Structures are given as structure tokens and as C-alpha cells.
Amino acid sequence: MSLQDELDAERARRLADQAVRAAYEETVISLNRNGFMSNVLAEEAQFPDFMLPNSEGRLVSLAGLLARGPVIVQFFRGEWCPYCRLMLDALVAALPEIEALGATLIALTPDTGPWAHDAKANHGAAFDVLSDVDCGVGLAAGVVFRLLPLYKARLVSVGLEIPERHGNDAWFLPIPAVFLLDRSGKVAWRFADVDFTYRAPPERIIAALRQLAEAG
């Protein structure tokens, strides 16, 4: 079963709940209507520089990663998100091929401390999971939005303490987004979607990486 097949099955199961569907539709319709995607960092743009803590507490810099080769930056909401869990599993499976092409994969989440650590440990990820503190990188890349009332209420109703997980009460989340950066830090390819039930299939990421390698 492909990643998208798994995502589709998860979406069908969850959207059978009318409260979940209402919150989902409010988010997707509002972001589309407000032209959110026009703010997302475009191809050829310079990706924002950063130095962020990984799940083990060590600081990781973009400059240090780029010194080794192309970098794939994957934004995700958190281990609490079922769609993110499926995506992380797919990336773990794809990592050997990504690394064979000379690239480094990193995943950025607004979650901090033990929650970022859980996201890595629960999937046996051999790539760095970084805490995007206060969503600074996500905001600079144009992939972060403030939760709308229905979705916020939904998360509160199931006991998900976003302010505690993020270390702030901004109630920001990133949309699903992937950026492939060349060695200069420019965006060579990107995927972004306001619908959080869609993710970039690993084969598309790898195809873009192959194209970058051939062009280089």
C-alpha cells in the first residue's frame, strides 16, 4: 500500500466523525480562500538560515548540513498527528535511497523536548528531528498558520496541549511542506499543501533529488 493509500484510508476513517470533518473543512477552505499558498517560499528562493535543537538537545545548523550536500527539509505537525506518523514511517523507509544520493534529510516540528524525541524514537528514525522553536523557520518559509476555532476546540477536546508541547500559546501549526535545498541553500523543489491529509510521496522527493544531482 502506498503512502497516499494509507493517508486516504486514514482520512476516510477520521472524517466519518462530523466534528472532525467540520474542523478539517474550516481549516482547508479558509486557508485556500485566504490565498495562504502564495506566502510559501517559492523555488529558487533562499531558504531561511537556522540553528535549531535536535531531539537529543544538540544544536544543528543549516550551514553545517549544506556543507555536506543537498538538504531535504520536511515540516510536520507532530507525533500526535496520524498523517504525520504515516509520513514519518515512509521517510524512514526512503532514507537509505535519499542518503545514497548524497542528501541529508531533516524533519522540523513545533513540538519541543520529549515530544520531539518521541517523534524520532517511535519511528526508529535515523535522521534528525529538530524543534522549530516558536515556529520561526516555518513562519519565515511561509508554511505556518494560526489554528482556527473549530480545529483548536477539537484538539483541546481530546486533551492535546499544544501550548505545552510548543512552549508557547500562539497555537501555530505548519502545513505539510517539503523543501529540497541545493548546496547554496536555494529551494530546488518544493511540495506544500494546505490539506494536512496529503503529503509528498517519497518517490517524488527522490525523483526531485535525482534531477538536482543530474543538473549539478
The answer to whether residues 166 and 133 touch, using CB atoms and an 8 Å cutoff, is no
Tens of pLDDT, residues 132-141: 999 999 999 9
Number of separate domains in the chain: 1
| Residue 74 in this model has a pLDDT that exceeds 80 | yes
For residues 47-54, average pLDDT: 98
Element (H, E) at 2: none
As a whole number, mean pLDDT of residues 3-28 equals 95
The answer to whether the predicted template modeling score (pTM) of the entire model surpasses 0.85 is: yes
Positive or negative, the CA dihedral 193, 188, 78, 111 is: negative
CATH of the domain at 111: 3.40.30.10
CB 173 within 8 A of CB 77: yes
Per-residue confidence (pLDDT) for residue 1, from 0 to 100: 81
- The boundaries of the domain holding residue 103 are 3-215
